[in-house]
Amino acid sequence: IKRPPSGRLCLVSHVLVALFGMGSWISVNSLWVELPVVVNVLPEGWNLPAYLSILIAFGNVGPVVVTLTHHFAPGRLNERLVIHSIQALAVVASAFLAIFWDEIVLVSGKSHSVPYLLLTFILALVCCTSNVTFLPFMFRYPSVYIRTFFVGQGLSALFPCVVALGQGVGKLECLNGTSGNGTLSPHYLDENFPARNFFWFLFTMLGISGLSFLALSFRIPTQPAQEEKDLGSPSSKEESETHPLQNGTPHVAEDQVDVSKDSPHSAFWTRRNIYLLALLGISNALTNGILPSVQSFACLPYGTMTFHLSVVLGNIANPLACFIAMFVLCRSSAGLGAMSVAGGAFATYLLVLAALSPCPPLLGNPVGVSLVVISWIVFTALFSYLKVVIGSLLHEAGHAALLWCGVFIQAGSLIGALIMFPLVSVYDIFQRAQDCVDNCSL
């Protein structure tokens, strides 16, 4: 039997890893982008984002259970079985969501979308748990596949966004009001297809991700691997990063991954690793919690098109930055710190715009539109690249390092969301611009 070239096999593995990574957060990303459609149907209305934030926070019970299991019973948790289980749970939940998302249940005499909220919690639980199971599983592969995994995570935000744009979410027209005094009133256009079809799209994507992981499980060889030892030499590291798609290093076998045999506890908690984890937590707090909460406040005053451009181009910048990291990897702590500072500067500018909503500077000026869109692109790209680099560096520190990588990703995201929730939903620090109204007229 003629075997295909190793380069083709590696390329197939990269595609499978990307599709596997895509399934990690596509559920929660899809729920967020579909909110403008479902809030018009479900009885919770625009209180639904607050419900969604709380349910995602409760979903962190999954990472807590996994982390405690690794701590008190090291080596006992079958990661492959856990991943298969949560992927199957997500597929079933998304199918039920497509069927029952608009069902209403009376609770204490009030209407509530119990099926939608319950299935949302299940999907959030799966997404949160994926951070502490998918990443440690990737220890079985050479470090270059970590970067491919993050490319897939970027696609988990891009794909739902593109489909939602095709659906026509949030489109409106400003029409003359019926009062005859020259005022304009917003007229929201119907979507091109209903929410049920969108949730079936989510079901399909989760199914593809699950099948990709199943294929990856069969592609892990049983022969011993020397990848971590080989990567210890400078020449092999250089070769690995110069030709990432041609990396013929064998994967690590299932029986070679033993959490109890990782490096000693004290050996991992070095200043450099703590520094990397701190950068990782801060970057995820900004990208997954703080800035998404105020994106509409920062962008919508400049127009709906500005908002859509920021969302789409930012989501394109995410996987693109991850792809660049497959070929150019910055190992300098100072360089990573400089990127964090630069990304933080763009994040500060966007937060200032959100705080000044609905009358930010350069309103009605093309320069203002360009600045806000470019800021979202650069901010997303810098921190996406930073996360991939840190994940790759921690891969070299062992299986436990990737577990802590997932923990800090999830902890940072949670802290960022908890900081912004009261500011946005309780204290109304940020003011939303009204559609079809000159919000800044004297």
Using an 8 Å Cβ cutoff, are 412 and 387 in contact?
Answer: no
pLDDT at 2: 44
Please state which CATH number belongs to domain 270-437.
1.20.1250
Write down the domain spans for the chain.
7-222, 270-437
| Burial degree of 68 (CB within 10 A; 0-12, 13-18, 19+) | exposed
pLDDT at 221: 43
- Listed in order, strand segments (DSSP E) in 189-255 are none
Using an 8 Å Cβ cutoff, are 288 and 413 in contact?
Answer: yes
pLDDT at 265: 53
pLDDT at 141: 86
For residue 391, the Cα-to-chain-centroid distance in whole angstroms is 14
- For the stretch 285-308, pLDDT in tens is 999 889 988 888 898 889 878 888
Paired tokens of 403: 């577990």
Do domains 7-222 and 270-437 share one topology? The answer is yes
Give which of 353, 228, 330, 323 is closest to 279, Cα–Cα.
330
pLDDT at 7: 63
pLDDT at 65: 93
Inter-axis angle of helices 114-130 and 26-33, to 10 degrees? Answer: 140
Q: Which CATH superfamily is domain 7-222 in?
A: MFS general substrate transporter like domains (1.20.1250.20)
C-alpha torsion angle, residues 382, 388, 390, 391 (rounded to 10): 160
- For the stretch 252-266, pLDDT in tens is 555 455 544 444 455
Residue 185 pairs with which residues in a beta bridge? 175
Q: Residue 363 — φ and ψ, nearest 5°?
A: -70, 130
pLDDT at 178: 64
pLDDT at 238: 45
pLDDT at 234: 45
pLDDT at 252: 53
pTM above 0.85, yes or no: no
Q: Reduce the DSSP state of residue 208 to 3 states and report it.
A: helix
Spans in the chain with pLDDT lower than 70: 1-9, 46, 177-182, 220-266, 441-442
Pairing of strands 110-112, 105-107: antiparallel
Paired tokens of 187: 């007229």
